[in-house]
Structure 1
Amino acid sequence: MLSLPSQLLLRNAELFTTGKWALVNPEDTLIFSELSGDITGFHQYFDKYQAGLKQQADKHHFAASFSNSAEPFDGIVIYMPKAKQHLDMLLANMAHLIKPNGLLMVVGENKGGIKSVPKQLEKFGVNINKIDGAKHCGLVSCEIQTPADTFEINKYSVVRSYRVNDHELKVFSLPGVFGHKQFDPGTQLLLQQFREPEELRAMRGKLYDFACGTGIIGSYFAMVNKKLKVTMSDISALAIYCSEQTLKLNELEAQVMASDGMQEIHQHFEHIVSNPPFHDGLKNEYGITQRFIKDAHSKATRGTRLTIVANRFLPYPEHIEKTFFRFNTLCKTNKFCVYQGIK
């Protein structure tokens, strides 16, 4: 079934029958088969990109930022992201890919902040107009009279140095990525369990950082133990880019890859460490981590340690206990717990 924002676009299907269009971060890829016209998909989330490829491979792109060497677009529709700064970055990116006097639009749910979008659009275009509102959603457009010449994603980045146990680590972050402009307290607590130099030096084999975000976890292990082979993955192209830049800033090496959960992970690990997500957009989604725990067991060797941090209210201990041979709670605060399972 189409998401509510996609249903609103379908109400305005005639818009897409003329000219060249792009949909940015669509919540579902079924919309591409429902609309007729020349429509390209730009995705920052790997699961949606993979789904788009199954429909029409040459019409879907996955990256942190969108560059288009072909003819500019007559119109682009951005699905409203969770973070306001993420939308600003997307608007700037798309504004330079549109023909003069082309349309830049945003679609989203009222509870997601679509009503504040006209104010954001004032920085990019003129003739701001709410085209439609239904199904608790809105579709807002503006006209781009003079497209921007370039877009540089690094202008939206923040680089900060954090003290991680006894080590200084530079971290690159972008809007829309977990850990942007902060050292998340849950991640801090998790890494505090890996602060003893002797224990760190004794770690061997392969280490996996699931849902790596800005790359702080995987980069820390790559820094403190050069013998570890570190792999980091995330579903977000922005997170992949941030993790790659964090590694470069610290002159570290690790494998960074896009993956929907652990679907693209085809190796086994001696250490799996994560601050896993429990949101999918605006909704709580516990199934992501529950699937991760199950998949982590299948990618573990005998004796592998899975160590995660989670909010205390999340129901993960029972899943780790059911799946792994041994279970421990390493640390508790009034907000977080660090859990460990051993295969």
Structure 2
Amino acid sequence: MPAETPVCQLLERQDADYRGWLWVSPPRDAWLEGGQGSVLSADHGVLQSWRERSRPAFSPFDAQTVGEPPGAVLFWPKAHALGEWWLLWLCANLPEGTRLQLVGENQGGIKRVLKVLAALGLGCRKRDSARRCTLFETRLGRVDIDPEAAWTRFEAEGLTLISHPGVFGHGKLDDGTRLLLGALERHLPGPERAGDVLDMGCGDGVLAAWLARRGHRITAVDINGFAVEATRRTLAANGLEGEVLAGDVYSSLEARRFAAIISNPPFHQERSIDYGPAGRLIREAPAHLLPGGGLLLVANAFLPYPDLLERAFGGFEVLADDRRFRVYRAPVAGSR
């Protein structure tokens, strides 16, 4: 199977023997998934795809060890702070001297890797470039920075939130979530009518913690392992309880139903706009709602969610609109 993505096409033409290597935070690509080595990723979708092929797949938050691979390839992310975290994790968890290649798109900032490696005291050489991508190579060494230092705390809405560079809205409460919280305050039943609520795309856990503080029984889901870990830490930091799961939209929930589904769904995949997850969130929501329940979500005002809501629910209402963001509520049929 030929490589599909530009970064993998660049790797495909290398003369390196990648058998047994560790692929770190890679994109979805059939060439990788059908090839050699193992994967280390915080993306639940990537991990599931590899495991379905009976390929070794690890999360950085698993207790499992990745062993001592002959080398590793780090796919440099758009968020440079996240790339730095992956570097620190690899330095802390793989043997000193392990070969490391770093690959990424030029527009994604891969060339900044040179300064990042120099700051960590790691040498580097350019190995190849093609398809508007560049491949660098170095060897891992001991670095006196703990990857745990990337986790930060901040206060919002009377809550302590735990954040990481790999989580949406790292280190701050975004304006869309703030508008959604205001609408929830006005329109979601209070503690006297608390129920089972699903926070879909939980991020740093602000919605889950806010809802749990009001007495709701919380299930929080995110495809991003960093978000799952952040939400667990946020709930613990506030003395709150909730179930936090890794999953691709509803994949980890089977036939469970909730009194409400709350979401600030993502629509970006790296630099591209992707409505897929949000589309599934809306289309499949009625099957996961109890009678009288509803979906409440916030989205950029320009996104075409009204059409999706109309088709899935037969109607909806706008609870808040500040011209940048809108909060929608779509009740299941018969509960209007």
Percent identical among aligned pairs is: 29
1:255 is the counterpart of 2:249: no
1:200 is the counterpart of 2:196: no
Residue 22 of structure 1: how far off its partner (Å): 0.7
Matched ranges for 1:66-105 at <5 A: 68=65, 70=67, 72-105=68-101
In the alignment, which residue of structure 1 is the partner of 2:222? Answer: 234
Asked if the contact 1:177–1:239 (Cα under 8 Å) also holds between the matched residues in 2, the reply is yes
Q: Distance in 2 between matches of 1:62 and 1:173?
A: 18
Asked if the contact 1:125–1:142 (Cα under 8 Å) also holds between the matched residues in 2, the reply is no
Deviations along 1:96-132, one digit per CA (max 9) or x if unpaired, are 3343332222111111111211111113354311111
> Gaps (5+ residues) in structure 2?
none
Q: Distance in 2 between matches of 1:132 and 1:66?
A: 35
Matched ranges for 1:92-131 at <5 A: 92-131=88-127
1:273 is the counterpart of 2:273: no
Matched ranges for 1:162-173 at <5 A: 162-163=156-157, 168-173=158-163
TM-score, structure 1 normalization: 0.90
Residue 10 of structure 1: how far off its partner (Å): 1.0
- CA RMSD between the two structures: 2.1
Amino acid at match of 1:216: V
Whichever structure has more strand as a proportion of its residues is 1
Residues 125 and 34 of structure 1: is their aligned pair in 2 closer, same or farther, counting only changes over 3 Å?
Answer: farther
Q: Distance in 2 between matches of 1:110 and 1:308?
A: 35
In the alignment, which residue of structure 1 is the partner of 2:12? Answer: 10
Matched ranges for 1:24-103 at <5 A: 24-32=24-32, 35-36=35-36, 39-57=37-55, 59-64=56-61, 68=65, 70=67, 72-103=68-99
Farther-moved stretch of structure 1 (131-140 vs 92-101): 92-101
In the alignment, which residue of structure 2 is the partner of 1:218? Answer: 208
Residue 138 of structure 1: how far off its partner (Å): 0.9
Residues 13 and 56 of structure 1: is their aligned pair in 2 closer, same or farther, counting only changes over 3 Å?
Answer: farther
Deviations along 1:35-55, one digit per CA (max 9) or x if unpaired, are 44xx22101100000000022
In the alignment, which residue of structure 2 is the partner of 1:147? Answer: 142
> Gaps (5+ residues) in structure 1?
none
Q: Distance in 1 between matches of 2:325 and 2:86?
A: 33
Q: Distance in 2 between matches of 1:233 and 1:318?
A: 25
Counterpart among 243, 246, 251 of residue 234 in structure 2: 246
Farther-moved stretch of structure 1 (122-131 vs 41-50): 122-131
In the alignment, which residue of structure 1 is the partner of 2:153? Answer: 159
SS of equivalent residue, structure 1 residue 209: strand
Residue 147 of structure 1: how far off its partner (Å): 3.3
1:322 is the counterpart of 2:317: no
SS of equivalent residue, structure 1 residue 177: coil
Deviations along 1:140-168, one digit per CA (max 9) or x if unpaired, are 11223x4348x7443111111112xxxx1
Q: Distance in 2 between matches of 1:4 and 1:203?
A: 52
Asked if the contact 1:86–1:176 (Cα under 8 Å) also holds between the matched residues in 2, the reply is yes
Asked if the contact 1:127–1:142 (Cα under 8 Å) also holds between the matched residues in 2, the reply is yes
Q: Distance in 1 between matches of 2:218 and 2:91?
A: 37
SS of equivalent residue, structure 1 residue 188: helix
SS of equivalent residue, structure 2 residue 290: strand
Deviations along 1:251-288, one digit per CA (max 9) or x if unpaired, are 00000000012111121011111100001122110122
Asked if the contact 2:88–2:146 (Cα under 8 Å) also holds between the matched residues in 1, the reply is no
SS of equivalent residue, structure 1 residue 101: coil
Residue 139 of structure 1: how far off its partner (Å): 0.8
Residues 10 and 224 of structure 1: is their aligned pair in 2 closer, same or farther, counting only changes over 3 Å?
Answer: same
Amino acid at match of 1:55: R
Asked if the contact 2:221–2:246 (Cα under 8 Å) also holds between the matched residues in 1, the reply is yes
Amino acid at match of 1:31: W
Asked if the contact 2:96–2:142 (Cα under 8 Å) also holds between the matched residues in 1, the reply is yes
Q: Distance in 1 between matches of 2:14 and 2:268?
A: 30
SS of equivalent residue, structure 1 residue 175: coil
Asked if the contact 1:173–1:214 (Cα under 8 Å) also holds between the matched residues in 2, the reply is yes
Asked if the contact 1:95–1:124 (Cα under 8 Å) also holds between the matched residues in 2, the reply is no
Deviations along 1:318-341, one digit per CA (max 9) or x if unpaired, are 111121143101111121111110
Residue 56 of structure 1: how far off its partner (Å): 2.5
